[in-house]
Amino acid sequence: MSDYTKLATSDTPAHYIYVLDASGTMGNNLDGKKRAEWLSDALEHALDSMIERSYTDELYHPRYRISVITYANKVDATLTNNGFIDVKQFWDAGIPQFNPGGDTNTNEALKKAYEILENLLSDSHVRKNCPAPLVCHVTDGEYNTGGNPMPIAEKIKKLRCDDGLVLFQNLFITDGLLATPIKNVNSWAGFTSSNAEQYFKGDRKDYAVTLFNMSSNLPRSYASVLQDNGFGLDVGSRMMYPGTSFELIKLALVTSMSTPFRDQASESE
């Protein structure tokens, strides 16, 4: 069954890859704070939620594994040893502060993500039993070195396991992008139309449309978990989020970890 319903458990953990743009422009300000700092804060928030969900009473259940890839001119996946590590292990080592600098080599970063995913899915247990992995790509601008990332992004989206195709999500941190501002993040339904043109404006519009087309549709199970957390994203809405405010950046990171998991109220695993 490929409907993204497999649960994140100790035996079948969820796998998330965060591909983070650390190029020079991430040092630019957004609402009085560097974009990289917003990202770091949002990442901490998401990891915090993952760990919170991993404790039943005082017992820890390692149900989330993450991989972090940062990129500028070069790609670095050493934070998570070029693979996946348990989220608590990453947390205990401290949330990294990103030092922006250099160009934007998105293509190489996604190639690294593909390599890590391919290695992960070579494990038959993961392929058959674990939730479909998710790639969360965070950037603030178009690639300017390394070539067009679209082909490798499409290749990633064709990877599959029993739970479904690999999910691909984009967070585009920039201001002045939206044609119509989002007033209430909690009640926002997401980009529900397939016509991306209507949503964006300004000189970043074309790349926003590219990222929109690169993004998967939000699975029903994810929408359900988000609803439980007070967000109203529609099933099938595009997993592309405009990072025009910290609240939206947080929403994107929370969405990235919305694999269904055992109900904490009743399940001690």
The residues in 134-173 that bind another protein, with binding defined as CB under 8 A, are none
Residue 1 within binding range of another protein, rule CB under 8 A: no
Interface characters, 227-266, with another protein (x: CB under 8 A)? ------------------------------------xxxx
Residue 268 within binding range of another protein, rule CB under 8 A: yes
Check: CB of residue 42 under 8 Å from CB of residue 252. Answer: yes
Residue 85 within binding range of another protein, rule CB under 8 A: no
Residue 3 within binding range of another protein, rule CB under 8 A: no
Q: By CB under 8 A, name the one of 1, 59, 158, 180 that touches another protein.
A: 59
Residue 88 within binding range of another protein, rule CB under 8 A: yes
Q: How far is the CB of 228 from another protein (least distance, A)?
A: 9
Q: By CB under 8 A, name the one of 162, 175, 234, 269 that touches another protein.
A: 269
Q: By CB under 8 A, name the one of 51, 113, 185, 214 that touches another protein.
A: 51
Q: By CB under 8 A, name the one of 2, 33, 55, 78 that touches another protein.
A: 55
Residue 44 within binding range of another protein, rule CB under 8 A: no
Binding footprint of another protein on the chain (CB under 8 A): 51-53, 55-60, 88, 91-92, 263-269
